[in-house]
Copies of this chain bind each other. A is one copy, B any other.
Amino acid sequence: MTTGSSRKPRTDALHNRRRVLDSARTIFAERGIEASMTAIARRAGVGVATLYRHFPTKSELLAEVSCGQVAECVSVIDDALADPDPWRGFTTVIEKICVMQATDRGLSAIFLEVLPDPALFEAERIRAENGFAELARRAKEAGRLRPDFVRDDLTLVMMANRGITAATEARTMAACRRLSTYLIQAFEARPGRSPLPPVPRLGPHPDLPTGH
């Protein structure tokens, strides 16, 4: 039945939904996307039945969490595109994504694995990737980014960064910062750089039409 009241969820239902999403994000971040619905309900302080009323499948819940994470990436990239210094914009994105990824294991999955129901955040993911490609184009045009940097190098960065795990979150974060600093210094255009071996097609997503 589609009545007025069923379209306008009550405040506590919205509140529960918010708590479930927060809990899911935390749990996916800590344990990866294999985490169970029961664990998510427990953390949110709601019953499993309530959880399934809001999200009938884990895929739907995962997709909604992913939407939020991709939106954050898009926002980081939009800020960088607004930076008048294209190299600073480019490097800020690499640094911020490495830090986000260090605290959120779920973020790697969005870009590096095939998730269920990717259609829900596909448009935003492509927007993020195209935004990054534009940043790279501008940084090359400004002569700051090496010309042989390609789009798949961002995937390489994210794959390398997900391998970093230390005994504490603070150490992991510090190690990710050091790795991204090294990589950014390697990406910088410099005369006399040795050529790079080719990067193969990485990640689960097909090539985009624009650029490398």
Residues of A at under 8 Å CB distance from B? 153, 156, 159-167, 170-171, 174-175, 177-179, 181-183, 185-187, 190, 193-194, 196-202
5 contacts between A and B (CB under 8 A): A153-B178, A156-B182, A170-B200, A171-B202, A174-B200
Known: A163-B160, A164-B160. A202 touches B175 (CB 8 A): yes
- Determine if A164 and B166 form an interchain contact, defined as CB atoms under 8 angstroms apart: no
Number of copies: 2
Which residue from chain B places its CB closest to the CB of A171 in the assembled complex? B200
Give Cα distance in the complex from A188 to B44, angstroms. Answer: 49
**Also in contact, A181 and B202, with CB within 8 A (given A163-B162, A164-B156, A164-B163):** no
A187 CA / B179 CA spacing, docked (Å): 11
CA–CA, A38 and B164, complex, Å: 31
Top 4 closest pairs, chain A to chain B, by CB: A163-B163, A160-B160, A171-B200, A182-B186
Say whether chain A's binding surface is mostly helix, strand, loop, or mixed.
helix
**Closest B residue, CB atoms, query A150:** B178
Q: In the complex the two chains form, what is the Cα distance from A156 to B187 in whole Å?
A: 18
A108 closest partner in B (C-beta): B163
| CA distance in complex: A64, B162 (Å) | 29
